């Protein structure tokens, strides 16, 4: 079984476990937002699944559209599948959840569709997987690097260091788990925060995109933490 197929099966399991959202979380989704998912592996599928269940409209995209179609069929009327270009055009908000090495090409091929849009950046640079671009991004800081690779996008860095399975479960206890985010665009932060709350997390703004370097696995902010724990840790970061 190849890696992509394993990712799809894991994501399908997350979707199957979602069940019904509590009324408070559904209320947070009263204003529907169209979300284009660029990269529907474990993270993209989990987040797209909970957003669709919360009442938002989602389009999944990846290199394997048949898997995206199957995933969308499991989720029902709020989900559909398309190419990355179609998803980028569809979404008023975009989630990028691809290997970091894919960002340069996507930034070029989707330039017209992403310009001016809120982009939630869930991509992490791993040198072993992504090569030299990951070393560059880590040195520059992942938030600032992503902004350079996706020019014109209004980037909010989020969902970078919490497991995909947990992303599909947090709605069961809304507000208990904090989600550290970083961004420079006030309106984009507000939009991203609304979507983060809609699936049960409590967003915690830790600063501008320069602070995105701390939103990665292996940093003090990695893992599941309460909002207050995140705020306490941020005070120690430089």
Residue written as tokens 């799809």?
8
DSSP at 226: -
pLDDT at 174: 64
Stretches in the chain below the pLDDT threshold 70:
1-30, 170-175
User: Minimal CA–CA distance to 110: which of 145, 82, 140?
Assistant: 82
DSSP 63-109: S-HHHHHHHHHHH-TTEEE--HHHHHHH-SEEEE-S-GGGHHHHHHH
pLDDT at 232: 96
pLDDT at 171: 66
Tokens of 36: 């284009």
Which fold would CATH assign to domain 3-234? Rossmann fold (3.40.50)
pTM (two decimals): 0.87
In angstroms, the CA 22 to CA 53 distance is 11
pLDDT at 238: 73
pLDDT at 24: 35
In angstroms, the CA 22 to CA 45 distance is 20
């Amino acid at each position: 079984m190849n890696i992509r197929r394993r990712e799809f099966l894991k994501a399908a399991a997350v979707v199957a476990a979602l069940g019904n959202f509590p009324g408070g979380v559904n209320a947070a989704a009263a204003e529907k937002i169209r979300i284009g998912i660029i990269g529907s592996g474990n993270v993209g599928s989990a987040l797209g699944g909970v957003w669709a269940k919360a009442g938002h409209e989602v389009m999944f995209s990846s290199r394997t559209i048949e898997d995206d179609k199957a995933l969308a069929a499991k989720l029902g009327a709020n989900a559909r599948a398309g190419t990355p270009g179609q998803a980028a055009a569809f979404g008023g908000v975009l989630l990028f959840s691809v290997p970091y090495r894919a960002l340069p090409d996507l930034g070029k091929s989707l330039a017209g569709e992403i310009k001016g849009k809120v982009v939630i950046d869930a991509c992490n640079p791993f040198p072993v997987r992504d090569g030299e671009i990951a070393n560059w991004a880590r040195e520059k800081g992942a938030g600032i690097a992503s902004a350079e690779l996706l020019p014109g996008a209004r980037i909010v860095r989020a969902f970078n260091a919490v497991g995909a399975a947990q992303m599909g479960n947090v709605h069961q206890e809304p507000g208990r788990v904090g989600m550290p985010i970083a961004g420079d665009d006030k309106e984009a932060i507000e939009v991203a925060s609304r979507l983060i709350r809609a699936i049960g997390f409590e967003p915690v703004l830790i600063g501008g995109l320069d602070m995105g370097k701390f939103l990665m696995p292996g940093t003090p902010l990695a893992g599941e933490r309460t909002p207050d724990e995140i705020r306490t840790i941020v005070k120690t970061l430089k």
